[in-house]
Structure 1
Amino acid sequence: MESILFLGLNLYAWIVIVTILTMFTILTFTKLPADVVFMGGMAVLFVSGVLSTQEALAGFSAESVVTIGVLFVVVAGLTYTGVLQWVARYVLGTPLSYAGAVVRLMLPVAGLSAVLNNTSVVALFLNVVKVWGKKLGISPSRLLIPLSYASGMGGVCTLIGTPPNLIISGFYQKDTGETMNIFITTLPGLFCLVVGVISILVLRRLLPDRKSADDNFEATSDYTVELLVPSECSIIGQTVSEAGLVNVKGGRLIEIVRFDREIITPVTDDEFVMGGDRLIYSGQIEEILDLKRTKHLVNATNHVFSLKEIEKGRKLLTASIGLGCPLADVSMGGTDFEEKYGVVLVAVSRRGERITASPREIRLRPGDVLLLECPPSFKPGNLPQNNGLHFFDSDSIPNIGRKTMVSSLIMLGMILLSTFNVIPLLQSCFLAAFAMLFTRCCSIEQARNSINWNVLMIFAGSVCLGAAIEKTGIATALAQGLLHVSANPVILLIGICLLGTFITEFISNTACAAMFYPIAYQSAVMLGANPVTFCVALMIAVSSSFATPIGSPTHMLVYAAGGYRFTDFMRIGIPMNLIILAANIFIVTLLFPL
């Protein structure tokens, strides 16, 4: 079967190409989880005979994949000891201008993202930046895109800052036997970061001035209505279901406040109606007010359901729907989410505007912001891992204390041990993870929950994909094809990085790194150029996704919170892509001559 050639490629190579194109199409146009797509692709390559059993399973034992898994535990120690909270509280300060605010924001975020998970950093800073922006008189939408960009540009500054760097360095070590230094991308990454910050300031007129999605939730009287059950009402003694009070035209009963201030939420169908009850509905107020006439209710004299006057029996949280969230493309009424977790959907905001409809009937979409009423015991961390809901509220973040310093020193020790080649990176990561557990910076349960198995599946699949591209000769064939276009290594490098920057706008940067590394490496070898130059440039290119909100999980986080439109990212992101590409090629070829 290997001897059958078509356009210079054997049957196995065409199986790989079709598999990659199918995976790319699924990742771009469907909401199927990326880990499922990668596992499916790996299964096809294994079953078809492209990869042997050992080659198919090699991704799970690859050093780069194991390193990423151990780093999840290290990051958990930093998160649960309040390191991010300390930076957010004491570093931002009170700048005197917008330019000062951008610099004070982007530099510390980039610094943290160089050693921590980008999504975790942005999730913490999200609420802080919104409050900070309002305090400075700056629309949060003019700060949240720079926040997301900074996390991406900071991530490329170290090998452990972003997964593609580890994937590419792992491939390089396998091909050459040489280990890359953890700070090999620091100087080019910092140069691109400085260029990026300056570019944001120059292009700031392209940043939109939008209303934040959850600003619509500041006045609860705009989307809830409170009706009072008079003492001689005919429905007293009936259940809310018998009285027809639960799901009504235009909305839903979300809470009952008894005359003695007892709060009942969520409201079950068998809850009895009593005189003096306050019935709190969410939805379209005009339609809900018809209940006054049909059920002989009266208006409540004052509004007790308020974000600023939350009773001890309720907690209001806001969360955005991310890509892959099970709630996307369904209505809350069609799921058991509320019943399962004891929460109630109060209102929905989309693109900075609250949707004036019954919340449970709204077909939810990625980027929507939900206002949820939750019991006091509810914690976002209790939801299943990778549930796709990103909570803006940070009440679950621990206070700063002695362990904040301990976890910071552990991270610093890990970096120093690897930097000065005392022990390899993987061993230093294991040592740091053990130290986090030993010093109780995080518990065993927290460490276990911090490991994102879906992400590890993607990384393992990426390693297999890269191996298949190289084994079947696709990388060599593509490299030879590119050489026919130009034998100039600089032009070839620009072409590879330009394609990588474009593709990473639609699929994960890890997948993009796995697809392009074999091509970049083989191109360098055939030209007799320095493979390190191609590898470092590719690391930066595949993490430079600025033009679409789906290009990065951090973009989706700020997309919802900032009330952005899809075109907002394109307007400033396309120039940013070209600027960072030029900066990337310039600095990498200068520091790592071809």
Structure 2
Amino acid sequence: MTWEMAVTGIVILAMMGALIKEAARPEVILLTALFVLLLTGILTPAQAVQGFYNQGMLTIGLLCIVAGAVQKSGLVERFVENVLNNGHSPRQSLLRIMVPSSLFSGVLNNTPIVAAFTPYVRQWCEKHDVAPSKFLLPISFATIAGGTMTLIGTSTNLVVHGMLIERGFAGFSFFQLAIIGVPITLFLIVFMIGIGLRMLPNRVPTMPYYNTDKNQKRFSAEMVVEPNGDFAGKTIKQAGLHQKNGVELLGIVRKGKVLENYSSSFKLKAHDYLLLIGSLNDIAYLEGRDGLQLDTGAAYQLDGLRQGESQLLEVVVTHYSSLLFKKMKDTLFPQQFDAAIVGVHRYDDQHVQRMEEITIKPGDTLLLLAGPDFENRTSTRNEFTILRTNKSSNPFQPFPAWKRFLPIILFGMMIVLAAAQIISIFTAAAVTVMLLLVLNILPVREMKNYIPFQVLIVISAAFGIGEAMLKTGAATYLAEMMLQWMAPFGLIGIFILLYVLTNILTEVITNNAAAIIMLPVAIETAAILGIQITPLAVIVAIAASASFITPIGYQTNLFVYGQGGYRFIDFMKIGIPVSLMVMAITVSITWTVWG
């Protein structure tokens, strides 16, 4: 083993550990690893930056813009609402939503699909007295499986495709992965409708998300007791804050000290801060009473919302946000985003602490009062996923009626041209984006809203790390070890081990990083065995996308983790049998077709 190989291995292990521990944002971790490889001379500057102009990475960015235009049209959301409302039972409605979810994710980014579907699914569940935990995890799994059906269904497929082309291989055709993706998707839908629906918890998310009566999401918020109002001088019981239903009082801040132990006879004073948790409607009702004011910690107040000067937004913090693991008081939120945080929802946290002391984590839902410059300040950053806006003052204006179908038409033309191999998917996406711009369907400033810059940085940096594995021989070393371990089992044993190793990585780091780490191993394995790279590349692509066992391996899983009130064990109970079957389907079809 050379020193270059040893250094590369140490850097990759340190990178994986940092990703698992969430020591920093993923793009920072991967860029740091890339910089170390560059600094040690293992990579040349040209090799280090090659991922930043890779065709696969650029295609992902273009497709996100196209998907944003389709999402903005509003047609998808209305379709989902109609589908759910026409279902006559939970099982039928689940089937009706899983099928379009998987089909849409074959041609659109699955995270926006899950984000767009979730509010309608929650509303349907509330109306029909069904726990959302029966629906949201199957939708996430369906979009993951559906993404494996086409070249553009998931960024992982495009990353592997881009690396293959860069190495002089043919890459994937548009529907090549469908030979595995379609059976996987069909299996998953049948499994969830039959066995999975019974295995899923019948759990209404606990108090931070829903109250027991109305199934509404609950936010932590702060209100200040005003002088000469209905609350100053009254006991907690007299103020009606001693009950557990509606808004619940978690703590009282007096002279900067948080009080947790108090009785219902505790007397409130002017300028006390009340730490509360409740649904948006309940908080609004309480705030409307004389003597309490919702504290935003900024110049933005509810009067601005009532006068149309600000907007009420419900957003989810992404896995790539610059706010991660910072206390709210340290984020300078109003200065950064022209918005103030009104409330916070977290699926598993109910600590008695001031809002400013809360540490922001991936998947947190923030209730914001956003000023007029919020959109401009977030347009180039992948900080949030917008869940819901105040319909009367939405800063992201919907399309005019005459433009709503144009994105769908252009998108369909792009798919046809790429699938028929008339032009490459990169060219088709580039032409579509240009038409969106020329026809003023999406102005340049709005296009930036849909580009996941942090994700693209992760992918670009990971290309350089993959190059280091090939250049130093680390990939060859791992390939030789894998062949040695599985020699008694032949080629099918190699397929299984490659799948397992890739799938383990994607469950604990990111799907794209897992694919880029394992594809060099697959390339070297194919070279040693003297076989085509296609079957091994297919296994890496599918295994890197098939994240079913943990909520942290794929962003859609992380999203529904909080929205459905799941526990980590819920994913394992459902995900392990699903993963085993998906592996069996993938390996058997790959062996039959290419073995």
Which runs of no fewer than 5 residues in structure 1 stay unpaired? 1-8, 236-247, 254-281, 297-302
- Whichever residue aligns with residue 509 of structure 2, its letter is I
Deviations 1:315-339 (A, max 9, x none): 6544444445455444434543256
Match of 2:277 in 1: none
Deviations 1:454-481 (A, max 9, x none): 2221111122122221222222222222
Match of 1:240 in 2: none
Which runs of no fewer than 5 residues in structure 2 stay unpaired? 234-249, 273-281, 289-301
Match of 1:208 in 2: 201
CA contact (8 A) 1:78 1:441 kept: no
Q: Does 1:150 align with 2:142?
A: yes
Match of 1:393 in 2: 388
Shift of 1:504: 0.4
CA contact (8 A) 2:317 2:364 kept: yes
For 1:339 and 1:291, the matched residues in 2 are separated by 36
Change (3 A) 1:435 1:335: closer
Change (3 A) 1:225 1:179: closer
CA contact (8 A) 1:349 1:355 kept: no
For 1:199 and 1:402, the matched residues in 2 are separated by 41
For 1:368 and 1:495, the matched residues in 2 are separated by 36
For 2:41 and 2:219, the matched residues in 1 are separated by 63
CA contact (8 A) 2:338 2:374 kept: no
Deviations 1:2-21 (A, max 9, x none): xxxxxxx3222222111111
- Tell me the SS of whatever aligns to 1:79: helix
CA contact (8 A) 2:141 2:548 kept: yes
CA contact (8 A) 1:320 1:560 kept: no
Deviations 1:13-68 (A, max 9, x none): 22211111111111111341111222222222222222223222221222112222
For 1:226 and 1:289, the matched residues in 2 are separated by 19
After TM superposition, the structure 1 = structure 2 runs for residues 122-521 of structure 1, keeping only pairs within 5 Å, are 122-201=114-193, 202-212=195-205, 213-216=208-211, 218=216, 229-230=227-228, 250-251=252-253, 292=268, 305-306=284-285, 312-313=306-307, 316-338=312-334, 341=337, 343-351=339-347, 357-372=353-368, 374=369, 382-383=377-378, 385-386=380-381, 388-394=383-389, 395=391, 396=394, 398=398, 401-487=401-487, 488-521=490-523
Aligned length: 539
Q: TM-score, normalised to structure 2's length?
A: 0.80
- Tell me the SS of whatever aligns to 1:203: helix
- Tell me the SS of whatever aligns to 1:392: strand
Change (3 A) 1:153 1:178: same
Match of 2:64 in 1: 72
Shift of 1:101: 2.1
Match of 1:576 in 2: 578
For 1:518 and 1:378, the matched residues in 2 are separated by 45
Deviations 1:217-257 (A, max 9, x none): 9599997778675499999xxxxxxxxxxxx981599xxxx
For 1:462 and 1:509, the matched residues in 2 are separated by 11
For 1:587 and 1:317, the matched residues in 2 are separated by 46
Change (3 A) 1:471 1:289: farther
CA contact (8 A) 2:218 2:345 kept: no
Q: Which of 76, 83, 86 is the matching residue for 1:91?
A: 83
For 1:147 and 1:233, the matched residues in 2 are separated by 45
Match of 1:239 in 2: none
Deviations 1:131-168 (A, max 9, x none): 12222332112111112112211112111121221121
Change (3 A) 1:15 1:292: closer
Q: Does 1:51 align with 2:43?
A: yes
Deviates more, 1:438-447 or 1:384-393: 384-393
Match of 2:24 in 1: 32
CA-atom RMSD in angstroms: 3.7
- Whichever residue aligns with residue 593 of structure 1, its letter is W
Change (3 A) 1:43 1:307: same
CA contact (8 A) 2:147 2:153 kept: yes
For 2:556 and 2:324, the matched residues in 1 are separated by 18
For 2:504 and 2:418, the matched residues in 1 are separated by 33
After TM superposition, the structure 1 = structure 2 runs for residues 503-542 of structure 1, keeping only pairs within 5 Å, are 503-542=505-544
Q: Does 1:589 align with 2:582?
A: no
For 2:533 and 2:11, the matched residues in 1 are separated by 27
For 1:232 and 1:537, the matched residues in 2 are separated by 66
Shift of 1:421: 2.1
- Tell me the SS of whatever aligns to 1:393: strand
For 2:285 and 2:335, the matched residues in 1 are separated by 23
For 1:94 and 1:320, the matched residues in 2 are separated by 29
Deviates more, 1:144-153 or 1:326-335: 326-335
CA contact (8 A) 1:348 1:355 kept: no
- Tell me the SS of whatever aligns to 1:250: strand
Match of 1:269 in 2: none
For 2:261 and 2:86, the matched residues in 1 are separated by 40
Pick the structure with greater CA Rg.
Answer: 1
Q: Which of 96, 99, 114 is the matching residue for 1:104?
A: 96
- Whichever residue aligns with residue 446 of structure 2, its letter is Q
- Tell me the SS of whatever aligns to 1:551: coil
Deviates more, 1:32-41 or 1:334-343: 334-343
For 1:338 and 1:379, the matched residues in 2 are separated by 9
- Tell me the SS of whatever aligns to 1:486: helix
For 1:196 and 1:233, the matched residues in 2 are separated by 54
For 2:61 and 2:176, the matched residues in 1 are separated by 21
For 1:479 and 1:232, the matched residues in 2 are separated by 73
Deviations 1:41-97 (A, max 9, x none): 222222222222322222122211222222232223222222432432333343223
Deviations 1:240-278 (A, max 9, x none): xxxxxxxx981599xxxxxxxxxxxxxxxxxxxxxxxxx
- Whichever residue aligns with residue 480 of structure 2, its letter is Q
CA contact (8 A) 1:223 1:285 kept: no
CA contact (8 A) 1:219 1:307 kept: no
CA contact (8 A) 2:380 2:451 kept: no
- Tell me the SS of whatever aligns to 2:209: helix
- Tell me the SS of whatever aligns to 1:564: coil
CA contact (8 A) 1:550 1:556 kept: yes
CA contact (8 A) 2:219 2:344 kept: no
For 2:312 and 2:160, the matched residues in 1 are separated by 43
For 1:329 and 1:287, the matched residues in 2 are separated by 34
- Tell me the SS of whatever aligns to 1:138: coil
Change (3 A) 1:251 1:186: farther
- Whichever residue aligns with residue 332 of structure 1, its letter is M
For 1:228 and 1:176, the matched residues in 2 are separated by 70
CA contact (8 A) 2:107 2:152 kept: yes
For 2:572 and 2:85, the matched residues in 1 are separated by 30
Deviations 1:508-552 (A, max 9, x none): 111111111121222233334342111112211110111111111
